[in-house]
Structure 1
Amino acid sequence: MDYTYIAEKIISLRDADLKLRQILVQKGQLSEGYNKEMEELHNQNAQIIDQLIDSIGYPTIDKVGKDASEAAWLVIQHSIGQPEFMKKCRDLLEDAVSDNKASQQALAYLTDRIAVLEGKPQLYGTQFDWDKHGELSSNPFDDLILVNQRRKSIGLNTVEEQTLIIRRQAKEENQSPPIDFEKRRQEMNEWRKRVGWIE
């Protein structure tokens, strides 16, 4: 079957997401909580991808091509207000990885993102956030040696190397830590409860 139209649709969702992110970066509004406009776009994109998945299954490389498959993953990765959808996609992505139709790295990032949102330790150390010292650091994980072994096994650099890259990128984008770390953390926890990540 030809999924060209679907591939183009998925890519347009990603492009809208990245365009809005760039606008927020330029306005210096990326660090202060979850921007309402961004949240709406993420939820809307998740709904569209969910409908596409119901129609064609997970958008694997063999169905929609590498670019659109990666774009679908990015939309899923950003759909943090939709716990059930993200978990459904993780399960589908696990199957796709088992069939060599999707990237192990994509699965690692999605698995870690879900773990962080649920308040659990990461397996791969892929998710970063501002710490109380005003530095971007990896969210909690189980064991640094094990994490770096897992990262190496799927072709990722070490947590230490990734930390330098993430911090450099934040500097280039003029990102700054939240003004009130504790307030931001409290607001994030309230949001996680409201959307259903934690009780």
Structure 2
Amino acid sequence: MASRDERVRAELQAEGTLLEGYHPRMEAVHRANAADLRALMEEHGWPSEALVGPEGAEAAWLVLQHSIAEPGFMRHCRTLIDEASRIGLVPRWQFAYLDDRIRVFEGKAQRFGTQFDLTPDGPELNALEDPSQVDRWRREAGLGPVSEVLSRARGLPLPSHEEYASKQVAGNLWRRDVGWVT
């Protein structure tokens, strides 16, 4: 599943169409992978490291992170990963990224500072629930300081003001249509 995701992502990136909205080919892969992961989970539960090894568990997390067109599934799995990470079955950073991603899609502030936007002026973190606690929460999840997120993002190609505004409008419409927000 993860290989299929990465292959199509690379093809779309090579075509120059990956970042032009949610590409239908990418969405089809994400939906198919979510269905496969859901079926696997019905039979075996969450694919933890004990069940599928570290690479398999990380692949399952990647598939889940990319199941963005299925809010209910992602929210359900957030609960499972929260519980599994609290008892050491999966790394806590997996919960941190998933929780932040869901919160940002819902229009809420993130906790761990894993999500950012590339704006015309450079990378900017999405809103934080508590900026004074973010680095502590990141450490507890096994992540480095939030400043590293922005440092890694510097140097990425920035959109024009028009591209950014268009992406924001399209993203808001998509989030509503998919069911992240009402």
Contact 1:31 1:177 in 2 (8 A): no
Matched, 1:130 2:118: yes
SS at 2:117 equivalent: strand
- TM-score (norm. length: structure 1): 0.85
2:159 maps to which residue? 177
* Deviation, structure 1 residue 34: 1.2
1:153 maps to which residue? 140
Matched, 1:167 2:154: yes
Q: Distance in 2 between matches of 1:48 and 1:84?
A: 16
1:139 maps to which residue? 126
Unpaired runs of at least 5, structure 1: 1-12
Which of residues 59, 77, 80 is equivalent to 1:89? Answer: 77
2:34 maps to which residue? 46
Runs of 4+ in 1 over 4 A off after TM superposition: none
Contact 2:123 2:150 in 1 (8 A): yes
User: Cα RMSD between the aligned structures?
Assistant: 1.5
- TM-score (norm. length: structure 2): 0.93
Unpaired runs of at least 5, structure 2: none
The count of aligned residue pairs is 181
* Deviation, structure 1 residue 65: 0.6
Q: Distance in 2 between matches of 1:148 and 1:142?
A: 12
Contact 1:14 1:71 in 2 (8 A): yes
Paired amino acid for 1:100: G
Contact 2:110 2:128 in 1 (8 A): yes
Which of residues 109, 123, 130 is equivalent to 1:121? Answer: 109
Deviation string 1:140-196 (CA, Å, 9 cap, x unpaired) is: 11232211111122221111112111334x3xxxx4426522221111111111111
Percent identical among aligned pairs is 37
SS at 2:133 equivalent: helix
Paired amino acid for 1:186: V
Contact 2:86 2:92 in 1 (8 A): no
Q: Distance in 2 between matches of 1:27 and 1:181?
A: 20
Which of residues 168, 173, 180 is equivalent to 1:190? Answer: 173
- Identify which of structures 1 and 2 has the higher relative contact order when contacts are C-alpha pairs closer than 8 Å and 6+ apart: 1
